[in-house]
Amino acid sequence: MTQYMSSNTDTVSRPADTMRERVGETRVKIWFLISANRWLVTGVILVSTYILLLVSHLFGPSTPQKLATTSGVVSLFGSMVIAVVTSVTLVLSISQFVLAEEIGPLGQQRERMTNETEFREDVEEAAGIGVAPVEPSRFLRTLIETADTRAKTLNNAVTGTANSEQLEEVTEYTDGLIEHSQTITDDLADAKFGSFETLLPVLNYNYSWKIFAARTLQNKYADSLSTEANEAFDDLIESLQFFGPAREHFKTLYVQWEIINISRGVLYGAMPALAIAGYMMLEFDASKIVGTVFGVSTAYLVVSVLFVLTLVPFAVLLAYLLRVLTVMKRTLAIGPFILRETQQLEKIRHEESSEIRSEK
């Protein structure tokens, strides 16, 4: 549970546990943008497009006979051929960036491995373990559990002392952090990399606010903290600072993973879409489809379905990009910076700078 300093009461209180609640967005919106299965979202986009076509046909000015008397169908699907080919070319170009990250000289690859190894060793030293887990979800759990352990140490350092009542605010902070850490570690249990189950709890773990609150409290009660409590604060802040680079590293790997999924999905949908568009241009004859269904021209219904099917590559691209771009927006900043508007940020916007100054 991250913390903030209220401008009204000058005390630290607990904001919401989840990203959705902190930014005030609806559950449906978050589900559609990032939580839902991307193939399900693709289906929702395609169905919505089909419904929009039907609504436009029913309530907008239209002439269904134009399907049989003009070359509108040929022109429409001819444009789709060009659009599908262009989109495939674009996706393949994006995929090259993923390949570029993985292809490099020996020195560059060695430097990458050295940086990752050194980071793991720093985490192992801080966590007091021999070997850090290799699975992303378990590694992130290790970081959170380390912060949890150090929060308990800080709690013990300020509880039962002569001025423990004065430091009750620190105790509330550590209690909230410990509670939230347990929730996140439970969410990360058995999460497999490549699924969004690994990244969503990471987005909910608002480490930037935790660091900000810890430094604010340490500065606020500097004259009342014992040497042990000060060291516990420093250790806690250090453990929280590990989370930022780790999150960015796994986010980068996740984005690369998703780009590969985007490329595969678009390529899978491209050839059927081109085949449908080719048929519609070469042989389709709307005049042979007669009758209506619930007052709607059968020919229009058929053409609309086939048109929507040619949109599959675009729907796949849109579904995956919605998630990737949302994740990127939520995690643009690394460290103690909050870029997006939150309810908690609004509450401290008008604080005097001296109240939230960083410790020198």
pLDDT band, residue 6 (cuts 50/70/90): very low
3-class SS at 135?
A: coil
Q: pLDDT digits over 95-120, tens only?
A: 877 777 777 787 888 888 898 899 89
* Average pLDDT of every residue of the chain: 80
Q: Which helix (H) or strand (E) holds 231?
A: helix 227-282
Domain boundaries, the chain: 4-355
- How far is 13 from 10, CA to CA, in rounded Å? 9
Instruction: Tokens 């990458």: give the residue.
Output: 112
Q: What are phi and psi of 293, to 5 degrees?
A: -130, 115
Q: How many CA atoms lie within 13 A of 136 on its CB side?
A: 22
Q: Which helix (H) or strand (E) holds 193?
A: none
Structure tokens at 127: 């966590």
Query: In sequence order, which residues have a C-beta less than 8 Å from that of residue 296 and are 6 or more positions away?
Result: 54, 57, 58
pTM for this entry: 0.75
pLDDT above 90 (res 315): yes
Q: With b meaning 16 or more CB within 10 Å and e meaning fewer, what string describes 7-34?
A: eeeeebbbbbbbbbebbeeeeeebebbb
pLDDT of residue 277: 92
Distance of CA 280 to the CA centre of its chain: 39
